[in-house]
Amino acid sequence: MEETKTITFTDKIKGWAHSFGLPRLIIAGFLLVLFIAAPIVGADFWMQVTNTINRFSWNAIMVLAMVPMVHSGCGLNFGLPLGIISGLLGATLSIEFGFHGFMSFVMAIIIATPFAIIFGWIYGQLLNKIKGGEMMIATYVGFSSVSFMCMMWLLLPYKSPNMVWGLAGKGLRTTISLEGYYDKALANILQINIGKLSIPTGAILFFALLAFLMWAFLHTKTGTAMTAVGSNPVFAKAAGINIDRTRTLSVIISTWLAAIGILVYEQGFGFIQLYMAPFYMAMPAVSAILIGGASVNKASITNVIIGTILFQGIVTMTPTVMNNMVHMDMSEVIRMIASNGMILYALTRKSEA
Amino acid sequence: MKKSFKSILLDNSVPIMFVIICAICIPLSGFSPTYLINEIITRLGRNAFLILSLLIPIMAGMGLNFGMTLGAMAAEIALIFVSDWQIWGIPGVVLAMIVSIPISVFLGWMCGTLLNMAKGREMVTSYIISYFLNGVYQLVVLYMMGPIIPIKHSSIKLPRGYGIRNTVSLLNMRQCLDNAWAIRIQGVKIPILTLCIIALMCLIIVWFRRTKLGQDMRAVGQDMEVARSAGIAVERTRIISIIISTVLAGFGMVIYLQNMGNISTYASHSQIGMFCIAALLVGGASVDKASIGNVFLGVILFHLMFIVAPKAGAVITGDSMIGEYFRVFVSYAVITVALIMYETKKRNQKSNAARQLQLDQEAEEAA
Amino acid sequence: MKRSLIAKICTVVVILGIAACMFVIGRGHTVYFDAKEIEYNGETLEPGYRTAIFVNGERVARLSAGDRGMATWIGQNFKMTVEVTPEKGAEAVSHEVSLKLPYNMDGIVLNVPALLAGAPEEVYLSEFVSLATEVSSGDEEIVTDDFGIGGDI
């Protein structure tokens, strides 16, 4: 009697673990251990929480950018750097045109939008031509665009002395400080400080707004059509949905969100990073949403939130805890193994039809 | 006849584009022909073997093996050991190759197994595998070498006592293969032994295509289901093709690094896959078809571009970084274009097949 | 099936054999030559006015009394030719020397006068211990990834 009971119990756990995914379980467990270990090894607990929340507010929108393309069946958007470049164009042009303070942030978004729409549209057309091979080509579209823009950052006639190399008087610097522009533009709105804990309310509200809009959009007619295209293209076609147009729309939204995402990241980080910096930015976002429970063809807002918290939690916690514990900084390596392992896990799983 | 000329032009658009790029950049760069020929031959010896390792997975229909980085990592680990054991010269090179075999086989087996779980998206998966294993490689080399894996010499180890230095000098086996039978013709150094090894490898590949295993691989590459029904162990064949590729990439990396004369422990392997694949594609290969000729044409054209671009870029724009970025951009762009061409072709074939099926059905109904 | 298994085992054994062979013939040593005076059996052996060392037909060192020269050698059977000029202007005397280098030493110091006088190994041969082993400049920054920019391929 007792034996059967245990079997059903372990089975239950097994089934639950299976649906949750073993790697996810490991990562969540790892984070839990880190949080428990942090005070023991002498790391400042509230400081860690603050950092995690901060980094969540920087990165969440870029993770959110994954959602529309997963819904429309375009897979994980490894081409995120393309959207990031639109955002960088918006950021640099806004500064170039002499905007300051919060206004420079608003203008950056306004200027980035047309770029994101144009790039997204072209990118979407391309992805429509190569259905089935999206992810690989997305990766390389991202890489090509980043390395192309490397040349452009040098060649475009930017003049603002805050951005160009001092000696040559031309060519943008690799990192541009945002002091006096939109440094902490969102984070400082309604910021809550309780002891050592500080919460960048504005940035989180901004993410919440976008996440809500995304959620609402997915429940409109166009949004449900998008989900239909992703989950059952044959049915969608029969229902009279224009597949190519829906897919293009999803790519444009994703690209635009990536552009906004990098701007929000910059306002938190305090610097614009150009040249090769956007190169690998897709990887953390992709693995974050996967850690949150998404798969190659299924993703929700909840996945975004959980995933970003877990991923950024690990990114912030590992270095401090590791350093305090064993005096070696293995965080970079652990992050690399965890994030790429997560992507690998998602890719090698039989995609549920 | 005219149409076939056009299709030849279209099929070879990438190499032709590169010939044009080189034709523009060479005069601008102002390099002397002797210098260029010397450089090209050096790079041919250095890279050709690595690129040859890509051919077999293409044959097996698994696309461009971005996982060749795995072989490169295996070779680097082997070379670190060999230089710690102080084995020099050609024996050192041979020993490094042998030591790399078990590591390559294991990594290749793992990669192949994972790719079998991700059929239809082999390339993106092999690409992520290379990143994942780069993390594992760093874990091993940066933290485990020293305390867990014994490394004796302080010239290799970091001063802190664990981990390997940024660069490991291979001074004692530097260019030992290249110099072994080298001859000089009017200032151009020709590394005969290295070229012989490469030629031998080409012969082996040609021979391999005719063996039973090679035929099986081609069958699997053409159509997995057909091959399966013909009694070929599809999964096994695919794993073997990746293992062979990884082992060859390891050998290639040893040859590459003995020419370079030092290992950048944490950077040498990371971009090597990208550059090799770009070179192969520049030679006119595609994702599903590549020949030995593509390898050599690719090395020559790609590396010619690689040598002249920075100088030419500096002349045109007055900034040497432009050329550096340009060649990186071109590498990525070439891969992107080749991937797009491959996917559109695949899609067209699919829709053509569907149309043909429909026509057949209609004909049947009419009859 | 059985035959192919045997063939496989044979291949592995042959490869391991080659590897073992490489271990022996590929071991590199750095050999240092000291033209310094040395006490042996109660007498002092003096180096000549000038000592020239030839390895593989190439002159690797030309030493005055008290100097140290250096050469690299792969394998254990070390051969060299030593040309000693006893006094200034005198005729050089050539000696063919071959000896076994100990496998486990990276750097080996040979005392030339003792070697030529036929002294036992423990007199003329000693391990080279680098004094300035660590010019430690703190921890070096680990560069994990350059994007292939500026690098050579």
Contacting residues of C for B95, CB less than 8 Å apart:
19, 22-23, 26
Question: What is the rounded CA–CA span in Å between residue A339 and residue A333?
Answer: 10
Lowest average pLDDT, out of A254-258, A261-265, C136-140, goes to: C136-140
C-alpha distances in Å from residue A30, one per residue of A43, A53, A325, A328, A330? 16, 18, 15, 18, 14
Element (H, E) at B262: strand B262-264
Q: Determine, yes or no, domain membership for C137.
A: no
Return the pLDDT at C131: 61
Q: Determine, yes or no, domain membership for B310.
A: no
The shortest CB-CB distance from C144 to any of B85, B88, B138 is to B138
Question: What is the rounded CA–CA span in Å between residue B332 and residue B42?
Answer: 23
Question: How many B-C residue pairs are in contact by the CB < 8 A criterion?
Answer: 100
Q: Do A276 and C144 touch (CB under 8 A)?
A: no
The pLDDT of B216-239, averaged and rounded, is 92
CATH number of the domain enclosing B58: 1.10.3470
Q: Determine, yes or no, domain membership for A255.
A: yes
Q: Determine, yes or no, domain membership for B315.
A: no
Closest CA to B255 of B66, B44, B83: B44
Question: What is the rounded CA–CA span in Å between residue A65 and residue A352?
Answer: 22
Q: Helix axis angle, B33-52 relative to B234-260, nearest 10°?
A: 150
Quick one: tokens of A235? 């049915």
The band of A1, judged by pLDDT with boundaries at 50, 70 and 90, is: very low
Domain enclosing residue B255, as ranges = 35-294
Closest CA to A192 of A203, A184, A200: A200
Chain C residue with the nearest C-alpha to that of A336:
C144
Each residue's pLDDT tens digit, C21-69: 998 888 988 888 888 888 877 788 888 888 888 888 888 888 888 888 8
Q: Determine, yes or no, domain membership for C138.
A: no
Contacting residues of A for B135, CB less than 8 Å apart:
333-334, 336-337, 340-341
Cβ neighbourhood burial of C92 (10 Å; 0-12, 13-18, 19+): middle
The band of A240, judged by pLDDT with boundaries at 50, 70 and 90, is: confident
Considering chain A, what is the average pLDDT of its residues?
85
Q: Do B329 and A328 touch (CB under 8 A)?
A: no
Q: Do A348 and B321 touch (CB under 8 A)?
A: no
Q: Do A136 and B339 touch (CB under 8 A)?
A: yes
The pLDDT of B35-41, averaged and rounded, is 92
Q: Do C22 and B87 touch (CB under 8 A)?
A: yes
Contacting residues of B for C129, CB less than 8 Å apart:
none
Q: Model-level pTM?
A: 0.88
User: End-to-end alpha-carbon separation of chain B, Å?
Assistant: 37
CATH number of the domain enclosing C89: 2.60.40
Q: Do B159 and C136 touch (CB under 8 A)?
A: yes
Interface test with C, best of A150, A276, A280, A333 (most C CBs within 10 A): A276
Continuous H helices in chain B = 2-11, 13-29, 33-52, 55-59, 68-84, 89-116, 122-138, 176-180, 192-210, 212-222, 224-229, 234-260, 272-282, 292-317, 320-366
Does the pLDDT of residue A2 top 50, yes or no? no
Q: What is the ipTM of this complex?
A: 0.85
Q: In C, residues 128-147, which contact A (CB 8 Å cutoff)?
A: 144, 147
Q: Do A130 and B322 touch (CB under 8 A)?
A: no
Q: Determine, yes or no, domain membership for C18.
A: no
Does the pLDDT of residue A352 top 50, yes or no? no
The band of A130, judged by pLDDT with boundaries at 50, 70 and 90, is: confident
Quick one: tokens of A122? 């072209």
Q: Determine, yes or no, domain membership for C112.
A: yes
The pLDDT of A304-322, averaged and rounded, is 85
Q: Do A279 and C147 touch (CB under 8 A)?
A: yes
List, as own/partner pairs, every contact residues A324-329 make where C-beta atoms lie below 8 angstroms and the sequence separation is at least 24, other chains included: A324/A41, A324/A42, A324/A43, A325/A37, A325/A41, A328/B143, A328/B162
Q: Do C147 and A332 touch (CB under 8 A)?
A: no
The band of A88, judged by pLDDT with boundaries at 50, 70 and 90, is: very high
Distance, CA of B243 to chain centre: 14
The pLDDT of B189-217, averaged and rounded, is 93
Does the pLDDT of residue B252 top 90, yes or no? yes
Q: Do A279 and C149 touch (CB under 8 A)?
A: no
Quick one: tokens of A336? 């690399």
- Structurally, how many domains does chain B consist of? 1
Lowest average pLDDT, out of A12-16, A109-113, A274-278, goes to: A12-16
Taking the CA of residue C140 and the nearest CA in chain B, the distance in Å comes to: 8
- Structurally, how many domains does chain C consist of? 1
The pLDDT of C123-148, averaged and rounded, is 65
Q: Determine, yes or no, domain membership for B290.
A: yes
Q: Interface of chain B against chain C, CB under 8 Å?
A: 43, 46-47, 85-92, 94-95, 98-99, 101, 138, 142, 153-154, 158-160, 163, 165-166, 172, 260, 264, 266-267, 270-272, 274-275, 303, 306, 324-325, 328, 331
C-alpha distances in Å from residue C29, one per residue of A178, C76, C109, C116, C121? 57, 8, 10, 21, 17
Domain enclosing residue C112, as ranges = 29-127
Domain enclosing residue A62, as ranges = 45-279
Does the pLDDT of residue A262 top 90, yes or no? yes
DSSP annotation of C140 = P
The residues, ordered by sequence, that sit 6+ positions from A9 with a Cβ below 8 Å of its Cβ are none
Contacting residues of B for A143, CB less than 8 Å apart:
332, 336
Q: Mapping DSSP to helix (H, G, I), strand (E, B) and coil, where does residue A351 land?
A: coil
- Structurally, how many domains does chain A consist of? 1
Does the pLDDT of residue A212 top 70, yes or no? yes
The band of C138, judged by pLDDT with boundaries at 50, 70 and 90, is: low
Taking the CA of residue A315 and the nearest CA in chain C, the distance in Å comes to: 18
Quick one: tokens of A3? 């034996």
The residues, ordered by sequence, that sit 6+ positions from A353 with a Cβ below 8 Å of its Cβ are none
Taking the CA of residue A258 and the nearest CA in chain B, the distance in Å comes to: 21
Q: Determine, yes or no, domain membership for C58.
A: yes
CA max distance for chain A: 82
Contacting residues of C for B171, CB less than 8 Å apart:
none
Continuous H helices in A232-352 = 233-238, 243-269, 282-291, 301-326, 331-348
